[in-house]
Structure 1
Amino acid sequence: MHPPHNNHFAWMVPTFVVINIGLFALALYINDCPSHSTDCVAQDLLGGFAFQSLRENPLLGPSASTLQLMGALEVKKVVEEHEVWRLLSCSWLHAGVLHVLANMVSLLFVGIRLEEEFGFVRIGLLYIISGLGGSLLSALFIRTTISVGASGALFGLLGGMLSELLTNWTIYTNKVFENYTFLI
């Protein structure tokens, strides 16, 4: 016996991946490292999309000031300047190639399965609400620097996947495989 699948077509999670990657490319374009610095990584290959120096950003990405401009989470701006929108916008920005790659691979692996199972409305809401929750937790613990990334949203999806696994535990025939896919 296999768990029931509603066989929804997963379109939203791939769309979220495209948006995240597109915003990362936009951040590199806005950053335009070669016009501000001579110490850019891969400038000959990427031109205006070159990364900041490894000293400034070891994750191969834009500068912190570019991320701030685009909506990175800064507690001071949220609290004192009432820029509450940063609680949502920071979940769509990433600090570097390594950061966006890790988050998007995780989003595809977990998100598509959940979207096929539960549909785009539930998973979309879970993603957005978890991203907001992750931003709020980040604001509580990180007060001196900026925060970006979809990790809070991804942890929400992992929680949804764990909840589905525990709720439907009795109908899985290959429990070892299901546990393995969750742990990856």
Structure 2
Amino acid sequence: MGLEKMGALEWYKVVHGNQAWRLVSCIWLHAGVIHLLANMLSLVFIGIRLEQQFGFVRVGVIYLLSGIGGSILSCLFIQRNISVGASGALFGLLGAMLSELLTNWTIYTNKAAALLTLLVIIAINLAVGILPHVDNFAHIGGFLTGFLLGFMLLLRPQFGWVERRRLPANSLKSKYTACQVILWILATVLLIVWFVVGLVMLFKGENANEKCGWCHYLSCVPTSRWNCNN
């Protein structure tokens, strides 16, 4: 049975075939054993840390919604080929790790080193996405979705709150800082806008390449060694 029949992401069938479920089903399909193993190893290294700290429910929500966000952006830009894989969801976890570090900045030690390491990992993985036959739009869409979700779902109480919560109410600090609350509000608004606008554009049959003439280079950069039209 081919990937198309199993639920691969295909723009025409999503938009004109009333098969929106492909936005989700494609996350669980892979193009081969190597593709599957690479993604599952990435999930082990990224997901275990997050799940241990925040629980499987919140991490699962980020994983699923990031995968859908990646599928939406992929469909808006890639309309001639099919796409499968959990990479968008995995990039969402990376995005969530980044926003979690930023929103909980005050409680971490060695934060600059952690931030630099995470940014390098993200940059390398996104750079790989400019190779042909790699759906970097799914990566970018998943990353941005996960980045916003991290501000919403991965907040930690500010430093000292846990130790002081038994003190009298008039001496107790707020559980979250003003910065955390502001970021939560902004992320919530932006996430809703992104999903609403993205889905409306998708089901109206719009091609995002027509609105952004250079964006196709984000997913593939042609060279003398390969052609991005393949």
Please report the TM-score for the alignment, with normalisation by the length of structure 1.
0.60
CA distance in 2, matches of 1:172, 1:86: 39
Q: 117, 123, 129: which is aligned to 2:65?
A: 129
CA distance in 1, matches of 2:68, 2:34: 22
Instruction: Name structure 2 gaps, 5 residues minimum.
Output: 122-230
- Is 2:23 the partner of 1:87? yes
Question: Could you say which residue in structure 2 is the equivalent of 1:173?
Answer: 109
CA distance in 2, matches of 1:173, 1:81: 51
Q: 68, 80, 85: which is aligned to 1:149?
A: 85
Query: Which amino acid is the alignment partner of residue 141 of structure 1?
Result: F
Q: 19, 28, 36: which is aligned to 1:100?
A: 36
Q: CA deviation at 1:167?
A: 1.8
Q: CA deviation at 1:157?
A: 0.8
Query: Which amino acid is the alignment partner of residue 17 of structure 2?
Result: E
Q: CA deviation at 1:109?
A: 1.0
Q: 70, 78, 82: which is aligned to 2:6?
A: 70
Q: CA deviation at 1:83?
A: 0.9
Q: Write the deviation string for residues 40-63 of structure 1: whole angstroms up to 9, x where unpaired.
A: xxxxxxxxxxxxxxxxxxxxxxxx
CA distance in 1, matches of 2:100, 2:15: 36
- Is 2:65 the partner of 1:116? no
Q: Which runs of 4+ in 1 moved over 4 A?
A: none
SS in structure 2 opposite 1:115?
Answer: helix
Equivalence map 1:24-39=2 (5 Å): 30=1
- Is 2:99 the partner of 1:163? yes
Q: What's the RMSD between the two structures over aligned residues?
A: 1.6
CA distance in 1, matches of 2:113, 2:46: 15
